[in-house]
Amino acid sequence: MTKTSTNHDALALAERLLACPSVTPAVGDVFAELEAMLVPLGFTVDRFVSGVAPDGPVENLLAWRTTGAGPHFAFAGHLDVVPPGHGWASDPFTPVVRGDLLYGRGAVDMKGAIAAFVAALHELPDSLPGTISLIITGDEEGPATYGTLALMDRMVAHGLHPDMCLVGEPTSSARLGDVVKIGRRGSVNMWIKVAGTQGHVAYPHLADNPIPALVRILAKVDAEVLDEGTDWFQPSNIEITDLEVGNPAHNVIPAAATARISIRFNDQHSGASLIDRISAIAASEGGSVDAKISGEPFLTQPGTLSTLISDAIRDVTGLDTELSTTGGTSDARFLSRLCPVAEFGLNNATMHKLDEAVAIADLHDLTRIYRLITERALRG
C-alpha cells in the first residue's frame, strides 16, 4: 500500500484515514483512527456524537495538548467525505499509490491535510510552550448542522480559547501554497412564492395565474446590482436556480409558482439585510419569501496569521502566496467567531472527483509547512 513511508509520516497516516469509509455524516472508525494517532502524542481527546436523522448522527473530535503558558494554536478540518460515485479505477476506500500519487476518496478533501498536520506534530520540539488543539468534524460536506458549531460549544465547556485557527481546506490551485483563503463570501438561499387560483386556461377570468407576477419579481431581482465588490471581495451575485409550478397539465392555470434564488454576498451585506431587500421586491407583486442563511461573510485582515502561513509557504516552496476570498463556503465561517482564521491545504484539482488523488510530494511539503506555522505560532 505504502511507498517510502514511515509509521508517522503523512503518507502512512493518510492511508490509515483513507481506509475508513466516512461518507457524510461521518461516525465511527475514522475517528477512532485519528484518536489513536493523537493519544500517544499526549493529546486529551473528546469524541462525541451529536444530532439525529436526517442530518445526523454526526461524530466530532476535539483534541488538545497544553505544555505550559503560551499561545493557543488550533487546526480545524473534517473527516467526512462526499459519496465516491461510480467509475473509479480502484476502490475509493482502499488507498493505493500509483506513480507519485495517492488515490482515495478524501485524499485531497481533506484527510490528507489532517494526516499532514498530525505528521507535523511528530516533528515539533517538545519544549514549545502553549496549547495545540484539533477541531475535527464529521459534518462539513453535508448540512453542517451538528459539526463545527457543536465543537465550538464543546471548546467553551472545556475552557479552550484559541488565539488563531488554521483550517486545512484544499485551497491550492496550480501548485501547493499558491492560494490561502483569508475570508469567504456569505450564502443565502431564498424561495419566492406567489399564490394564485387554479383554473382552466379557457376560463382565465375564473382563475388567477401566479406565473406573470413571479416573472415580474424575477425580472426585478435579476436587475439588482448589489455592489461593485471591495478590496478583498468580488461583487455579490444573485442567481436564479430553480422554478417550480407543480403543473404537469397543459390546460391548467397553476395555483402557485415558486422560484429559488441563491445569493453569494460580501461583507457589505448581511443575510438578514438581503432577505429584507428581496422580500420587499416580492411583496410589490404579491409574493412572499422563505429563506435560509448558510453563512455570513467573514474576513481575517492580513496580519499575524496570514504572515505566518505565507512565510512558511515561501520557506518550503519558494512561492509568494495569493491571499484570496473566492470560492464557496466552509466551516471557517463559524470558526471566525472564535478567533482569526485562515484556510490553507492541498491542491484542489481532484476534490469531489472520480479518482481523487494527492501528490505524495505535496503531503510531505505540507507537513513541513504546517510544522513551521505551528512552531512559529507557539513561539509568538
In the annotated binding site for Zn(2+), the residues are: 78, 109, 141, 169, 352
All cell numbers assigned to 108? 485531497
List residues forming the annotated binding site: 78, 109, 141, 169, 352
Has 80 been annotated as catalytic? yes
Catalytic residue among 15, 80, 163, 331: 80
Catalytic residue among 33, 139, 140, 343: 140
Contacts 24+ apart (CB under 8 A), 232-236: 232/182, 232/183, 232/299, 232/325, 233/183, 233/185, 233/266, 233/267, 233/268, 233/297, 233/299, 233/325, 234/185, 234/266, 234/325, 234/326, 235/266, 236/185, 236/263, 236/264, 236/265, 236/266, 236/268, 236/269
Task: Report residue 353: phi and psi, to 5°.
Answer: -105, 165
Cα-trace Rg, the chain? 24
3-class DSSP assignment, residue 137: strand
On whether the CB atoms of residues 177 and 321 are closer than 8 A, the answer is: yes
Active-site amino acid positions: 80, 140
